[in-house]
Amino acid sequence: MQDEERYMTLNVQSKKRSSAQTSQLTFKDYSVMLHWYKILLGISGSVNGILTLTLISLILLDSS
């Protein structure tokens, strides 16, 4: 029973700590994160486009 109480106490304390850290993020931090997400989305889209074109060209070469 003591172990359960200790776990609950530690669990609640860690949740409070993580929510405090999250609330410390400012609007500038979010805009920087959004900027990097947009860059990563563009890169992954480009890679997907290249892979799609490669697959189509391999299918066309194989059929001829």
Half-sphere exposure (CA, 13 Å, Cβ side) for 21? 6
- What pLDDT does 50 receive? 98
- What pLDDT does 31 receive? 85
Alpha-carbon distance of 26 to 22, in angstroms, equals: 9
Residue entry with tokens 């172990």: 3
Length of the chain: 64
pLDDT single digits (tens) 17-57: 555 555 666 777 888 889 999 999 999 999 999 999 999 99
